[in-house]
Amino acid sequence: AALGPRRNPSIPMPADIYPGRRNSEGVDLADPLVRVRLLNVLDEWADKECWTAEPTVVNGRSATLDVRSPYSGFLIGTARQSSAAEIDEMIARAAAFQGEWDGLGGNVRATLLEEVADLYEARTPEFLSLCQREAGKSLVDAVLEVREAVDFLRYYAAEARAQFTAEGLELPGPTGESNRLRLAGRGVFVAISPWNFPLAIFTGLVAGPLAAGNTVIAKPAEQTPLIAALAIGLFHEVISDGVVQLAPGDGKVGAMLTSDPRIAGVAFTGSTETARAINRAMAQRDGPLGILVAETGGQNAMIVDSSALPEQVTRDVLASAFQSAGQRCSALRVLYLQDDVADGMLEMIKGGFEALVIGSPEDLATDVGPVIDAEAKTKLDQHIAAMKRAGHKVWQRELPKACKEGHFVAPTIIEIGSIRDLANENFGPVLHVAQFKADQLKQVIADINACQFGLTLGLHSRIDATRKLVEAKARVGNFYVNRNQIGAVVGSQPFGGEGLSGTGPKAGGPHYLARFATERVTCIDTTAAGGNASLMAG
């Protein structure tokens, strides 16, 4: 025993670094014993082609579509579109179950969500395989995806346990008065999730309303229904299928759900245009007013001044712009380089850019995989071609021959004058670079703000006054200094934007669950208790 491992009690183990919840388990891909064993398991899953996604309620038959890999075109499984009759029945079931689910209280709901998190971790290899094959994610990104999903479940469980108590919050008042505020679920929520984080964001959008006492109907992105189906199947091992239901399908399914007056609210992550459509649909319906919690697009910039460290900038720019093939809400779209150092910085960035490995996400060496589908590829290719025609200087990698069959977009760097040259977000591996003079920093910030997107902003500078200036002036949800601007950690870096980038509150933050709840206040005059009792008896 004396020769056993010694632990410093002041340094928590990785699983215990967060108070009130267990940290998600990682996968050490640098350890060859771990890596080889995992790759062997993934090889076994790679042969499976019978994944299916169906509505939780089966009422008739509707169209069934093939689900194919974005990098190979291979068939992975099938998904069936939810019919109008199935949606109607799912909403009715969710409404019927909501009162009982809410009545369980925060502590019981928390325990159930933690059990779901444990099931997620137990099925990690299946999730990794589907994230690679259905969403085109690299293994590194897939591991991070599973961890974030697990963290959402456990974080919202901890918040439910703390905020949704039977006693509620005691409010101040004069002597002889007892006032308490309690949080309760609002009703039935619809969770509409994107394809770029088909497990993590999907899980967060489902777990948040559930933790707050609502029942949920989850509509995953039509490109990634199989991952969602596996996740909801695990929920159903712990929680009744009337409390959380799956409604796969395209935008028509989402429109039917969000326009129904029985829906208390919508949790959405996706494009600004779709969020506007949901908002209009909810405003036009009869019945109680619903709420929309939305995280939407971004035109994310990074500012680099002359004091920044070139090696650090290069590392963080490449990760921010090209990891996940640039398909992150927070990904870097516009890089501002101070003109004094711009040429040298850009040369180093281009050196790292040329070293990026483009290919199948099943290859551990791959840095940049495919975009999600043919439509996404066409939009990006058209943007790059338009910038070339307009005379912008463009650097673009050559795609390997192995990438010709999939939805690959060659990583691209485009020189522009400023962020004002861009009308829309270009959701893929395309980085725009602009230069600015030292005395133009305030104008750069004003141009970024004028876009009205406010999701993420990066800054590389060793001058504290510069950091304070940008922090004070920039209107963004997440501001990252001297690091990359992707990969917000649940509970530590709550994520979400403002303006055209969302409504708030931030996902993975302390104010999130309360947005899905209604507040109820009980006021009691304790000095009149006897009198009240006599009146009731009489």
Burial 304-338 (b: 16+ CB within 10 A, else e): bbeebeeeebbbbbbbbbbbbbbbbbbbbbbbbbb
Beta bridge partners of 394: 414
Catalytic residues: 295, 329
Closest C-alpha to 357, from 38, 138, 197: 138
The whole-angstrom distance between residue 405's C-alpha and the CA centroid of its chain comes to 29
Cis status, amide bond into 429, omega within 30 of 0: no
All residues at 6 or more sequence positions from 19 whose CB lies less than 8 Å from its CB, including other chains = none
CB 192 within 8 A of CB 278: yes
Output DSSP code: residue 196: S
Closest C-alpha to 207, from 493, 512, 519: 512
What DSSP assignment string belongs to 471-536?
A: HHH---SEEEESS-S--PPTTTS-B--EETTB--PPBTSTTTGGGGEEEEEEEEEGGGHHHHHHHH
3-state SS, residue 380: helix
Token pair of 446 as six digits: 């004003």
CA angle at 486 for the pair 396 and 513, rounded to the nearest 5°: 145
Q: What is the 3-state secondary structure (H, E, C) of 416-455?
A: CCCHHHCCCCCCCCEEEEEEECHHHHHHHHHHHHHCCEEC
